Amino acid sequence: MYFSALVTLSCLVSLGTSQIITIQNSCLPAGGYTLCQNLWNIAGAVGSQNSTLMSSSTQTVSWATNYTWADGGNSVKSYANVESINAKGVQLSNISSAPTSWNWNSGSQSSGSQGDVAYDIWFGQASSGRPSTAGSSYEIMIWLSAIGGCGSNKNWEVFSFVSAGGDINSFNADLNAFFTYLVSEQGVAGTQYVQVIQAGTEAAPGSANFVTTSYSVSIASNSSSAVPSSSVLSSSHTSSSASAFF
């Protein structure tokens, strides 16, 4: 369902300084990240999605995604996202902080469209693993814009955090606040590894244009010499309630 393979540069279209990807499972190197189209659920749907990489560095990435989808039911069709190359492979109990910043806006969205903006984070017992696989133990979704519903019948557990106060267009938080909550309150083992951190837009029927002006995420472990940022989860920005889906 999720795809990670990189396509060759010949699949990419250059437009000025930005690069656009249009085809189904294509990905693009983006500094410390990989930008992927991930049209994982478009069977029966009519439309398209394009993602444009606007800028990238080791720390920060900026991109835009446009989509138009019709038919194929009301479910999420695609998840254009960036995945961190570096923020992974650390056990939860060893994380001292996981600062993230995400500034985005929805330039245009058709009425009734159910697109949303969300983190998709995967934990597993092994130090590395791909999303939606037998090696996945937990999927943690953090929605910065409201949406309902969640998949079931999976071999991993899903925890969802939904913004209580509507869209959060400028999100600055320590993801470790979510992780420590899951360990201390929800029975997730501290030995679980963060395998993947993705951030992107889930596209449902309708059309929309999402722009991320800047996004970053990193993980500092307590064995690292790096001095972590002291950013903390702001309770005014994010609901602390979590619900588990099985």
Ligand X SMILES: *[C@@H]1O[C@H](CO)[C@@H](O)[C@H](O)[C@H]1NC(C)=O
Residues that bind ligand X (CB under 6 A): 20, 22, 48, 50, 52, 66-68, 90-91, 93-94, 107-108, 209, 221-223
What's the closest the beta carbon of residue 126 comes to ligand X, in angstroms? 11
Catalytic residue among 83, 157, 185, 202: 202
- Closest Cα partner for 172 from 125, 142, 208, 216? 216
Active-site residue identified among 83, 139, 157, 185: 139
Q: Which is nearer to ligand X, 68 or 218 (CB)?
A: 68
Active site residue 157: no
Mind giving me the DSSP string for the chain?
----PPPPGGG-EEETTEEEE-STT-EEEETTEEEE---TT-TT-EEEEEEEEEEE-SS-EEEEEEEEEESS-SS--EEEEEEESSS-SEEGGGEEE-EEEEEEEEEEE-TT---EEEEEEEEESSS---TTSTT--EEEEEESS-------S-SSEEEEEE-TTS--SEEEEEHHHHHHHHHHHS---TT-EEEEEEEEEEE-SEEEEEEEEEEEE--EETT--SPPP-----TTTS----EEE-
CB of 51 to ligand X, least distance (A): 7
Minimum Å distance from CB 107 to ligand X?
Answer: 5
* Chain residue whose CB lies nearest ligand X: 223
CB of 69 to ligand X, least distance (A): 9
Nearer to ligand X, 103 or 172 (CB): 103
- Confirm whether 202 is a catalytic residue: yes
Report the relative pairing of strands 33-36 and 27-30 from DSSP bridges: antiparallel
For ligand X, which is the closer residue by CB, 160 or 195? Answer: 195
CB of 209 to ligand X, least distance (A): 4
Residue closer to ligand X by CB (options 57, 222) is 222
Residues 134/135/138/141 CA torsion (nearest 10 deg)? -90
Return the active site residues: 139, 202
